[in-house]
Chains A and B, each alone.
Chain A
């Protein structure tokens, strides 16, 4: 590493966050982009697993937090969700306009002195060229040179192989959030909490029920995103405001018999409790989530469906 003492400080950090495994077309695009970036001494290229699946205290997020200067992030996510996933993990900055996010679509109040985070949505284009062109444009703009973690090889991507599994949890857009705390009151699984300023935070992301986007529909500001949800409005498309949402038939299409819903929930919660008490067999006195079970049954009884 001796020769390039100052080199590391004059590079732009480019992060390619891979899709979840199993999408061969996506892997091909990723490989082509990496190929196109190979040998570039003005860039520090890092490859990470899917951004949404990274653990807060894992090496991937640790690396992202260590980047001090401008940051280009290529992900299989809307730029808005990528940005707020980073924000929730302590990677802060202002959102830069890119081919994936026009200037007028940026509703995050950034101050111009802050370093920029440029998010590119890999789902937008099938070919690598538009992304490579865009990285060139950003590299020429990035006046504040990136300060990156030491220990990287020039011209070659740095792979961070964090083991990940598909996760499912809400991501809050604080440029929209009105701090009403409806989400906190609504979720029965204790996913939300508050920070020192009484703002909502996603405290227990992995307690969220897989596939359930219910709280994003109750948030009056449309501030809660589920980046992997099939509805663009819920996954973080900035062009769709919550007011444009169509009728939501989820309640009708779930089950219209309250007794059956209550019974299914009760059965599921009981099984969960059994499973958990089996796991903590040494301390059988601790029956987890008793409170939330009662709460849940009460709330279902309240529903007038």
Chain B
């Protein structure tokens, strides 16, 4: 694999593979025959911590749009709903990752692809553009995460943790 790009998350480096494209929601996209494989970027995996739970709410064969809810993931540091990065049709969910979600930590750019999309359409970023995107959105991401950890007991005030629908 060619030399990866590096994004520093505080003092911790996230390696961004240069042999594929990225969606803004921190997933990588790589063509594989007739479909596109989708996985998490190192940045996303670092935020999640050790992944131990993954569940899909969409089904293979279903037409999806960019931003559609597709499932749920839980790591040692965080949880998240999962959203589709592009328009297309769900071809397959990676059975190996479903059986052992910790693959996402050990082999995120190869074995741990999450799902594949047929007829995938939508804007993507090159690895350099994704690095720019990370740099530009890092202050905001930090604000969001800090806001959550300090605002946890504050109750109803502040912005909702997730936008509606």
Contacts and interface: CB of A to CB of B under 8 A. Distances in A.
Given A231-B72, A260-B24, A212 B78 contact: no
A252 B79 contact: no
Given A245-B79, A246-B78, A253-B81, A268 B65 contact: yes
A186 to B, nearest CB: 6
A283 interface: no
B140 A214 contact: no
A211 B69 contact: yes
A247 interface: yes
B80 interface: yes
A103 B137 CA distance: 47
A248 B141 contact: no
Given A248-B148, A260-B66, A253 B163 contact: no
A182 B161 CA distance: 13
Contacts of A248: 78-80, 148, 161-162
Contacts of B26: 252-253
B92 interface: no
B137 A247 contact: no
Interface stretch (B9-17, B30-38, B47-55): B47-55
A251 interface: yes
Interface string A15-43: 00000000000000000000000000000
Interface of A: 180, 182, 186-189, 209-215, 217-218, 220, 228-231, 243, 245-257, 260-261, 264-265, 268, 296, 299-300, 303, 305
12 contacts: A180-B156, A210-B69, A218-B160, A220-B156, A230-B74, A247-B78, A247-B79, A249-B44, A252-B25, A252-B144, A253-B26, A264-B66
Given A264-B65, A264-B67, 7 more contacts: A212-B164, A243-B153, A251-B163, A252-B47, A253-B26, A264-B66, A296-B164
